[in-house]
Structure 1
């Protein structure tokens, strides 16, 4: 029998229902089991309850909630590591499963949020501006995951400070829920690639899945006069326009809907697409910038490209080969998809990643370390056959 003390219902009452509506930007369902929690709850017991699926609605002061969350994270890190796997793909899947489990467990520490975007806990910070930017107006009180709230606060700091993009000569300001361009090597590829011949007389480009709009802004800085951007995420379209305005490019970057290709806009001299680099099912809005379910966006871009290019135009596919090293997609699969789409490769520019996971040894999964160290990011220049 475990010697971990369990909270009593006298100190930590079981709550039959949430005292306010549940709110989750990731679509996480409301917890089914809930107790009130405060400083009398030990971290070991809190972690065990969360692992069992019980949510903890914090009723102490705000710093106490932060301490408990950090303590629960430390306990999660003490789990006995699983044996290293020699197969990179399985190591990657195990890594994703563990991260998802950790997110579920830590996401069960909850805090209240009132309709004025205030956390009604003693010594809570002023989060009104950050929550307003992420959530918009709230009509009533809500219950949110503390982990999500911290993500909202952190995202607002990114929005305020921005991300320096040397190739752009300026900063990009990511909105909440929009993937930040922290991996600048792919931006450098777009800055170096020679513009296609058609761009001399028809300076119109499409940026598919624009995200923050960083590539659209770069293309505008390179002389293209009209860049139409699309994205399935409405936040991304607003973010792209905001960044264009900040960079003095208003009127050069236009939103063109939530489909992949802009409807009713005909052909372009250049079509740029930086799809999520890994086949897989995204588990959050931010995950959609990393995982492309069944490679739908990649295939959609390739299959529609030939009909969207002007004579002398090109499509630029920006893609890492990490999926190949993980065994999630082969180079033959990629080249076959290009050929079946009626496209030919006119050139390719390569670069190596500079992000921390590629340069810092991974102590947990040697198979992933090998894949990351071998990663190459490429800009594939494609034209119609």
Structure 2
């Protein structure tokens, strides 16, 4: 049996059609599908999408992009007065509610815009007029194709954007090079946490563990700082492939051993580093696991297991933003209590203010919390 789900639709001549369904976001197969093209009015398309009907595009590719933009404008201007009122009247005390409403709006937006679908050939090319070459971008996310399929235009644009980011990479001064994030792997665009790891005093240069390595950026920083051997773990094969690619590009792969593991490798090290997802909320797609940590599971797991994996006199470096505290999703008291319960103590802390654009954007839905955000490197040790 083929584990990949399929999507079905009926052509104008009443013939039934079927293809594989792909969704990196884990969106269920649409149950209602209609064919649309260049003659379909945007208002009609918007109404169908809001009703839960998927729109399988048959026209010019660039016109499909125009339709997606039209759907976006209708979503953005649906309730302008309500949005202005919300921004003006939301008190700081309701930051948690603001975050929940923000996530709900994001989810609603994704559902509507994700209703515009495209056909793909088995080699990942879109068989429409004026379609770009989508083969490499899709190959990097989906792997080799086997047969024709259907996916959303919005997801395709995300794949293309990720492909371009992967080619260009992100310049990281601390590693004297660039990090090329693969699709679905968090890109180190927020440099303040990388700089903290580059500046903190090293307890030793013999061995370090990098827990949840992702793109491999922190392992690369430690290697550049002269740590002789680093064991970098991740439970995502996609992340491990990305880290391997980056370390080889930088010429640092002899110093770093990559291991597929949930948190810790066997043994102890004088330095154990972890940069878990910062916001304790439920991801709405597999890709969001780099940002959202449901019920702080990874954070609590790292703290609970750290003492057993620290060599005598060793340090655990926890890199964590306090955005969750300003959103009312986790308190500082909770964090300190988890540290204490794990038999750990705080040896010191380095702080940095974020410099990304959203931190200073007054129109951002979470601006009140972002304006107060501080990213910290917590130096933890075994409690006496």
**CA distance in structure 2 between the partners assigned to 1:208 and 1:126 by the alignment:** 37
Report the counterpart of residue 6 of structure 1 in structure 2. none
| Residue pair 1:50, 1:105 contacting (<8 A) in 2 also | yes
Report the counterpart of residue 374 of structure 1 in structure 2. 372
Gaps (5+ residues) in structure 2? Answer: 1-8
**CA distance in structure 1 between the partners assigned to 2:13 and 2:112 by the alignment:** 18
Structure 2 CA distance for partners of 1:362 and 1:17, relative to 1, 3 Å: farther
Structure 2 CA distance for partners of 1:324 and 1:57, relative to 1, 3 Å: same
| More off after superposition, 128-137 vs 240-249 | 128-137
Report the counterpart of residue 216 of structure 2 in structure 1. 213
> How many Å apart are 1:18 and its aligned residue?
5.7
Aligned partner of residue 124 in structure 1, secondary structure: coil
| Residue pair 2:26, 2:286 contacting (<8 A) in 1 also | no
**CA distance in structure 1 between the partners assigned to 2:196 and 2:14 by the alignment:** 54
Report Cα offsets for 1:338-372 as digits up to 9, x if no partner.
00000000000000000111012126x4xx21111
**CA distance in structure 2 between the partners assigned to 1:324 and 1:104 by the alignment:** 29
What's the TM-score once normalised by structure 2's chain length? 0.92
| Residue pair 1:15, 1:35 contacting (<8 A) in 2 also | no
Report the counterpart of residue 124 of structure 1 in structure 2. 131
Count of residue correspondences: 367
| More off after superposition, 236-245 vs 14-23 | 14-23
**CA distance in structure 1 between the partners assigned to 2:374 and 2:253 by the alignment:** 34
Gaps (5+ residues) in structure 1? Answer: 1-8
Structure 2 CA distance for partners of 1:44 and 1:377, relative to 1, 3 Å: same
What's the TM-score once normalised by structure 1's chain length? 0.92
> How many Å apart are 1:286 and its aligned residue?
2.6
Aligned partner of residue 218 in structure 2, secondary structure: helix
| Residue pair 1:18, 1:143 contacting (<8 A) in 2 also | no
Structure 2 CA distance for partners of 1:166 and 1:115, relative to 1, 3 Å: same
| More off after superposition, 247-256 vs 332-341 | 247-256
State the superposition RMSD in angstroms: 1.7
Report the counterpart of residue 4 of structure 1 in structure 2. none
Establish whether residue 311 from structure 1 lines up as the match of residue 318 from structure 2: no
Establish whether residue 158 from structure 1 lines up as the match of residue 200 from structure 2: no
Aligned partner of residue 144 in structure 2, secondary structure: coil
**CA distance in structure 1 between the partners assigned to 2:14 and 2:242 by the alignment:** 40
Report Cα offsets for 1:146-187 as digits up to 9, x if no partner.
111111111110111101112221100000111111101000
| Residue pair 1:16, 1:34 contacting (<8 A) in 2 also | no
> How many Å apart are 1:20 and its aligned residue?
0.9
Establish whether residue 95 from structure 1 lines up as the match of residue 102 from structure 2: yes
Structure 2 CA distance for partners of 1:76 and 1:14, relative to 1, 3 Å: farther
Structure 2 CA distance for partners of 1:299 and 1:16, relative to 1, 3 Å: farther
> How many Å apart are 1:15 and its aligned residue?
8.0
Establish whether residue 40 from structure 1 lines up as the match of residue 47 from structure 2: no
